[in-house]
Amino acid sequence: MPWRAALPTAVTSFVGRRQEVAGVRRMLQRSRLVTVTGIAGVGKTRVAVRAAQLMRRAFTDGVTYVELSGATTAEAVDEAIAQALGVSAPAESAAHVADRRMLLVLDTCEHVAEACSRLAQALLPAAPGLHILVTSRQALRAPGEHIVIVRPLAVPGPETEPAAVAHVESVALFLDRVAAVDPAFELGPDNAAVVAELCRRIQGIPLAIELTAVRARLLPVARLLQLMDAYGSLGHAGSRTRGGRHSTMQAAIAWSHDLCAKEERLLWERLTVFSGPFDLDAAEHVCSDADLPDTLVYPTLAALVEKSIVVREHDGRRTEYRMLDGLREYAMGRMTEPETERLRARHREHYFAVARRFGVERAGRDRVEEVLRARSDWPNLRAALESYAADPAARAAGLEMGLRLGYLWVFGGMARYGRQYLDRLLPTTEAPDWIRLGAHLELAHIAIGQGDLPAARRALAGAEEPAARLGTLGGLHLTKMRGTLRFCEGDLEAAELLLRQSVDGLSAHGGIHLLNGLIELGLTLLTAGRTEEAERALTRAARLCAQAGDGCGAAWADLALALLLRQRGRTGEAEEHARAALRTHARVETTFGRAFCVEVLAWLAADRGAHARAARLLSAAHRLWGAEVRPLLGSPHLAAERKRYQDELAEALGSQLERVKAAGRALSAEEAIAEALSGEPEEREPPAVPAWAPLTPREADVAGLVAAGLTNRLIAHRLVVAPRTVDTHVENILAKLGFSGRSQIAAWVIRRRQREES
């Protein structure tokens, strides 16, 4: 499964490969499906990512990166891509990309090539602006696929002069990596021939060069070459390879493995149990035993990082580690089945403990940071859940793990996965009543958040028996969720009664059920027009969030307070609360939370007369809600509010409405959130430029403003987008129309307008 949707950041410098990168870029301009192929360790990912980085401006809706090494089935591929795109189900991926101009990078696809081929054939016809860039050791064999083969780096010829040798790509990479471990190393007459021969022996394979270069800190280059000779030109019986460059790569890995200390080899092999990035705590708990005490795990892990066996990454919040696929495959091949099963058991037990800690409510914690960390751990959490679900004797632990991760499902933008596991485990699992009750209530909560009220009713029916056996507290939790359902059904009287009963009973216990009950009671009272009572409930909820350090809960309290302040006519304060909520929901990627915030900010823009902005945001919100079963949580009262605003905007904008709505639909999720977060103190009339083919509606707007003489910075200010977004739009307009300057764009716009007027 993927653990990032943005392009990965390289931890080492990019050396050479200009022709290959240029080749990928040229091919992407001609073809919408490009596969970068080559042997293991040749640098396919580096080339593809570099090309994608350099082509960002050509894709106005961005570049999405999906790492598929952990996906083993077609279903897992579909889910990985849906998660990276931010939609709630794989079936919605095609609709999500349908009118976007974007690049989808699928990395490490050789083991799921058939699934990736089917996916490309489904997405590309549905999305004319979509391009797909694949890295794989084999072609997908899909219609329209174009192949770019990445070959090993060029190796030196017979030349031995240092100046000539240094400019050869394989030598340049070797020198760059050696400099990282031995800054004093210099290429000179005394070692140029040896370095050249070393790169020839390695056959220019980048990963083999990196594995060899790190040894230069301890051994002279001449000694490295001697060891290669002793190793039989990097080939020996233990490598079990097929010959050729593949054999060279495998032998280089085997050589590095044999040169590692015993503890390093042991940890290298055991780290293969992780399905994605892992932290030090996980490595210590899963990989340590009598042969490798936990006190030795960190220094051993650090040694593997120094040897380029493991990659260390730090994002400012957390340090994680991962292993490249070729190195992982080699170590997995050395593991025995009993050892592998033992490690898998320890792996799932560790991530079960991670889930239990995540599910414990305690004051002073930063829930937003915890959700982000859990999302980073998702590949391993998922592997643990799958392991429990596949083991009939351990399904009760799997159900408890699904319950403990409830905050991730509801507040971390991963509701679909939570529902999937709870739906799968509940009918087949015997578990204590408190687990079954919690799982049914969590399932109801997820279904309500998705607007699927019939499913929520079924889940609450399943909660009745365990709640009755658990007594008062279990009954209060069930009562609270029934109140939530009644609010979304539009029965305000019943909702208030149930929510008040649960809030009164839970006040002595605290916790997430009390917090959610207060927020929902506040919304119920607000909808009923009882603003003073609503304010008391919502203020209390906000205070409890502050005391508990619950940033996710505070986001919902802020959104409810925004609705309260809006009803009192305090639009500016309401916008401040709505934007605070949106910043958190955008950070943790809560799908319906982001959509709800953008929707409320659209209503507030309409309240202060910014009709074009309101229509753009409302149209963008509709697109953000698109992944949910029913927008606005299925509430008829909220739906009635939306209808009122739609009617008001239709009257205010008249014939301009459809054009403004098209501009809103053209916004990516990131652009919509950025626009919603930006301030716009006064209404700006939309540019009177129709959406002319081949330009998108947003590009047509930009073209009209260029024709009006505005600079890119002024256009950005007018449209409330980033200047670089306008730069990209102008570049796309020039490319689509085959122009070289802004004056040609202006002339084209004038001709179009004259044609429409005639």
The pLDDT tens digits of the residues spanning 124-141 come to 999 999 999 999 988 999
222 pLDDT above the threshold of 70: yes
Among 41-50, 220-229, 471-480, the least confident range: 220-229
Taking each helix axis as running N to C, give the angle between helix 415-425 and helix 378-390, from 0 to 180 degrees, rounded to the nearest 10: 10
pLDDT at 758: 53
pLDDT, mean of residues 297-308: 90
Neighbours of 18 (CB within 10 A): 10
pLDDT value of residue 613: 92
* Number of separate helices (H) and strands (E) present in the chain: 38, 7
> What would the mean pLDDT of 418-423 be, rounded to a whole number?
92
Does the pLDDT at position 284 exceed 90?
yes
Compute φ and ψ for 409, nearest 5 degrees.
-60, -50
Q: Which of 232-236, 362-366, 487-491, 685-689 has the highest mean pLDDT?
A: 487-491
pLDDT for the residue numbered 684: 44
Tell me the whole-structure pTM to 2 decimals. Answer: 0.76
pLDDT at 722: 67
> What pLDDT score was predicted for residue 95?
84
- Res. 686 pLDDT band, cuts 50 70 90: very low
* pLDDT band (50, 70, 90) for residue 147: very high
587-617 tens-digit pLDDT: 887 778 888 999 999 999 999 999 999 999 9
> Rounded to an integer, what distance in angstroms lies between the CA atom of residue 731 and that of residue 24?
20
The stretch 430-439 carries a mean pLDDT of 95
> Which of 254-258, 330-334, 514-518, 554-558 bottoms out in mean pLDDT, i.e. has the lowest?
254-258
Predicted confidence band of residue 628 (pLDDT cuts 50, 70, 90): very low
% of the chain surpassing 90 pLDDT = 41
Residue type, 614: A
Q: What is the pLDDT of residue 626?
A: 62
Whether the pLDDT of residue 167 is over 90: the answer is: no
Residue with tokens 């009923």: 528
Q: What is the pLDDT of residues 446-484, one digit of tens each?
A: 998 888 899 999 999 999 999 999 999 999 999 999 999
Extract the tokens encoding 516. Answer: 């959610």
CB 418 within 8 A of CB 442: yes
Residue 685 above 60 pLDDT?
Answer: no
Contact 675, 718 (CB under 8 A): no
Return the closest-CA partner of residue 291 out of 250, 230, 342, 218: 342
Give the integer Cα–Cα distance in Å for 758 and 756. Answer: 6
Q: Which of 682, 671, 569 shows the shortest CA–CA distance to 617?
A: 671
Q: What is the Cα–Cα distance from 62 to 101, expressed in whole angstroms?
A: 8
**What is d(CA 394, CA 397) in angstroms, rounded to the nearest whole number?**
6
Exposure on the CB side of residue 248, measured as CA atoms within 13 A: 21
Q: Which of 39-43, 532-536, 749-753 has the highest mean pLDDT?
A: 532-536
Instruction: Please say if the pLDDT value at position 235 is more than 70.
Output: no
Beta-carbon contacts of 17 under 8 Å, excluding residues fewer than 6 positions away, are 43, 46, 47, 50, 150, 153, 169
Residue-wise pLDDT for 658-671, tens only, equals 888 888 887 777 77
Judge whether 496 and 456 are in contact, CB under 8 Å.
no
Rounded to an integer, what distance in angstroms lies between the CA atom of residue 577 and that of residue 721? Answer: 22
Structural contact between residues 574 and 582, judged by C-beta atoms closer than 8 angstroms: no
Q: What is the pLDDT of residue 5?
A: 57
Q: What DSSP character marks residue 88?
A: S
Q: What is the mean pLDDT of the chain?
A: 85
* Confidence class for position 73, pLDDT limits 50, 70, 90: confident
Burial 705-732, CB ≥16 within 10 A → b, else e = bbbeebebeebbebbbbeeebbebbbeb
Instruction: State the average pLDDT over residues 256-281.
Output: 91
pLDDT at residue 488 greater than cutoff 70: yes
Q: The tokens 């319950």 sit on which residue?
A: 403
What is residue 121's predicted lDDT score, i.e. its pLDDT?
94
- pLDDT of res. 344: 95
Q: Is the model more confident about 491 or about 708?
A: 491
